[in-house]
Amino acid sequence: MDKYLERLRSGSLKLYALEQELPSDEAVRVRRAFIEEKTGTALNRVGSYTISTERVVKKNCENMIGAVQVPLGVAGPLLVNGEYAKGGFYLPLATTEGALVASVNRGCSAITHAGGAEVRIVHDGMTRAPVFAARSVPHAKEIADWVEKHRPLIAETAESTTSHGKLTDIVTTIAGTSVFVRLEFDTKDAMGMNMVTIASAKVSDLIAEATGARLIALSGNLCTDKKPAAVNTIRGRGRSVVAGVYLAPELIRDVLKTDAATLIEVNTRKNLVGSARAGALGFNAHAANVIAAMFIACGQDPAHVVEGSTAMTTVDAAGEGVYVAVTIPDLPVGTVGGGTGVDTQAECLSLLGVAGSGTPPGAHAKKLAEIIAGGVLAGELSLLGALGAQHLARAHQQLGR
């Protein structure tokens, strides 16, 4: 180790180049020792991990020095009646927020006693939207017209870059001399950002050559990736999924400790009116809490939590009870690629029966989306109940301090 540390100190060896000369675990160890030396900070716990680094340093994390552990809890069983997810599931939730797992667990109990969450995927498509510069407004219209007239050629060009992805939609948007081409793909079991980015690059070259448009950026922010955006709440992105459950009055009383009228009023005044008055894009109680915990546990990109946070929760009167539903228009998830190959995250996916590719292709990613939506529904139910019963502060005093 000493000779590598000396080379790092002298600058003759760069931190990022260690894996070119050493096995991955040894490269991580040397890099960590160098950072400890430079900062005067012991990183013994960071250096204690069980995941295999050989794949991680190539696909997931540059300049790796170790791993940060997040406590993993489990809630459930959650009964899900989806098209892809059928049966009872224990939800892996990686979080440091006390009371979250307990809250979701209570929601799971309510849903399971009610006969299960009814869940459906209503749209499926990952997007990338390159932006082009036109010479003038008429030229911008010519570019958009060319794209519309050459959809089959664009699809053929895009799909030549992948054996799995299929182009499913194209929407052009003009703003002055800027032309945005929002390309949407079926990415099967992958979340698909890398896939659609590579395909969009090939398409962008085609459009530029054919129309004289000047490609400015492969992502023009109309995708919209990792930012809350109205276009995603309206058109959908990733897996768009809806989950609902009917709760009878006695179940609301016994499990959630409140009543139907209170649930409706809390949801209306908090999730709907409060969110609207705040100018929010999400109309929910805490959907991001469950999405983040499951994303971290299951190897999803945590930055996409901001997209999932645009969910809407509705509570409708249904007889003497209520029908509670969550609509998540933008849930980018996958079961292959990205962080899904990290050992601990792969185990969590296996816990849910969705690790790797599904049969038919895409089935596992859709199943995961349905399970997460059921988990979000459980979290919403429990928090609405706690608010209605005035139990929120008490729960956090007991579990979250």
Read off the pLDDT of residues 24-39 as tens digits, 9 standing for 90 and up: 999 999 999 999 999 9
**Is the residue at 270 inside a domain?**
yes
User: Would you say 333 and 283 are in contact if contact means Cβ atoms under 8 Å apart?
Assistant: no
Active-site position among 301, 343, 347, 391: 301
The mean per-residue pLDDT over the stretch 181-192 comes to 98
Query: What pLDDT score does 324 carry?
Result: 98
Of the pLDDT bands very low, low, confident and very high (cuts 50, 70, 90), residue 191 is very high
Tell me what the pLDDT averaged over the chain comes to: 96
Query: Is residue 400's pLDDT more than 60?
Result: no
| Residue after which a domain boundary falls, among 217, 243, 264 | 217
Instruction: Please indicate, yes or no, whether residues 248 and 324 belong to a single structural domain of this protein.
Output: yes
**Residue written as token pair 């190539």:** 58
Q: Residue 158: which domain range?
A: 130-217
Instruction: Please indicate, yes or no, whether residues 163 and 55 belong to a single structural domain of this protein.
Output: no
Instruction: Please indicate, yes or no, whether residues 291 and 263 belong to a single structural domain of this protein.
Output: yes
Instruction: Please indicate, yes or no, whether residues 252 and 202 belong to a single structural domain of this protein.
Output: no
**Is the residue at 12 inside a domain?**
no
Read off the pLDDT of residues 196-230 as tens digits, 9 standing for 90 and up: 999 999 999 999 999 999 999 999 999 999 999 99
Instruction: Please indicate, yes or no, whether residues 334 and 243 belong to a single structural domain of this protein.
Output: yes
| Residue after which a domain boundary falls, among 217, 236, 256 | 217
**DSSP per residue over 8-71, as a string?**
HHHTSS-GGGGGGTS-HHHHHHHHHHHHHHHHT---TTTT---S-HHHHHHHT-SS--------
CATH number at residue 195: 3.30.70.420
Of the pLDDT bands very low, low, confident and very high (cuts 50, 70, 90), residue 59 is very high
> What is the token pair recorded at 106?
């209570």
Query: What pLDDT score does 393 carry?
Result: 47
The mean per-residue pLDDT over the stretch 77-85 comes to 98
Active-site position among 97, 159, 186, 259: 97
Q: Is 97 a catalytic residue?
A: yes
**Residue written as token pair 């109205």:** 230
User: Would you say 191 and 332 are in contact if contact means Cβ atoms under 8 Å apart?
Assistant: yes
Instruction: Please indicate, yes or no, whether residues 236 and 97 belong to a single structural domain of this protein.
Output: yes
**Is the residue at 2 inside a domain?**
no
Instruction: Please indicate, yes or no, whether residues 291 and 341 belong to a single structural domain of this protein.
Output: yes
**Is the residue at 13 inside a domain?**
no
Read off the pLDDT of residues 111-148 as tens digits, 9 standing for 90 and up: 999 999 999 999 999 999 999 999 999 999 999 999 99
Query: Is residue 396's pLDDT more than 60?
Result: no
Q: Is 396 a catalytic residue?
A: yes
> What is the token pair recorded at 176?
């002055």
| Residue after which a domain boundary falls, among 184, 217, 250 | 217
Instruction: Please indicate, yes or no, whether residues 90 and 61 belong to a single structural domain of this protein.
Output: no
Query: Is residue 391's pLDDT more than 80?
Result: no
Read off the pLDDT of residues 308-340 as tens digits, 9 standing for 90 and up: 999 999 999 999 999 999 999 999 999 999 999
Query: What pLDDT score does 390 carry?
Result: 83
**Is the residue at 135 inside a domain?**
yes
CATH number at residue 328: 3.90.770.10
Read off the pLDDT of residues 233-285 as tens digits, 9 standing for 90 and up: 999 999 999 999 999 999 999 999 999 999 999 999 999 999 999 999 999 99
Instruction: Please indicate, yes or no, whether residues 315 and 370 belong to a single structural domain of this protein.
Output: yes
Percent of the chain whose predicted confidence (pLDDT) is above 90: 96
**Is the residue at 9 inside a domain?**
no
User: What sign results for the dihedral spanned by CA atoms 93, 122, 144, 190?
Assistant: positive
Total domains in the chain come to: 3
Read off the pLDDT of residues 96-107 as tens digits, 9 standing for 90 and up: 999 999 999 999
Of the pLDDT bands very low, low, confident and very high (cuts 50, 70, 90), residue 386 is very high
Instruction: Please indicate, yes or no, whether residues 317 and 383 belong to a single structural domain of this protein.
Output: yes
**Is the residue at 10 inside a domain?**
no
Instruction: Please indicate, yes or no, whether residues 287 and 384 belong to a single structural domain of this protein.
Output: yes
Instruction: Please indicate, yes or no, whether residues 105 and 204 belong to a single structural domain of this protein.
Output: no
- Angle formed by the axes of helices 100-113 and 392-399, nearest 10°: 120
**Is the residue at 1 inside a domain?**
no
Read off the pLDDT of residues 231-242 as tens digits, 9 standing for 90 and up: 999 999 999 999
